Amino acid sequence: MNVEPSHPKAESWRELYTAALFETDRSRISARIAGAEQAIVARARELFSTGNDTIEEDQALDDALYALRALQNCLQLQQTAA
């Protein structure tokens, strides 16, 4: 059974992920990224424990984590360059 994007827990990690990507306040970006990463990992664990076919959401979770880590790396590079 696939989890549709309208599923409440699927939406919560997606909302936190989007908020982290589009945060404009530099003092809040790291906290937004950390919160989104925690929600993504929690959702991935939940999906793993169900044993259902959730390949699409699994891939979305992997992609989101990759993007958040890339964003974090870019922010760290900017801080060291400044």
Residue 10: per-residue pLDDT: 63
In a domain, 67, yes or no: yes
Tally of domains in the chain: 1
CA distance 52 to 54: 6
In a domain, 38, yes or no: yes
Q: What is the pLDDT of residues 26-62, one digit of tens each?
A: 999 999 999 999 999 999 999 999 888 889 999 999 9
In a domain, 1, yes or no: no
In a domain, 28, yes or no: yes
Q: What contacts 36, CB < 8 A, 6 or more positions away?
A: 13, 16, 17, 19, 20, 64, 68
Residue 17: per-residue pLDDT: 97
In a domain, 2, yes or no: no
pLDDT exceeds 90 at position 4: no
Range of the domain at 48: 8-81
How high does pLDDT run on average in the chain?
Answer: 88
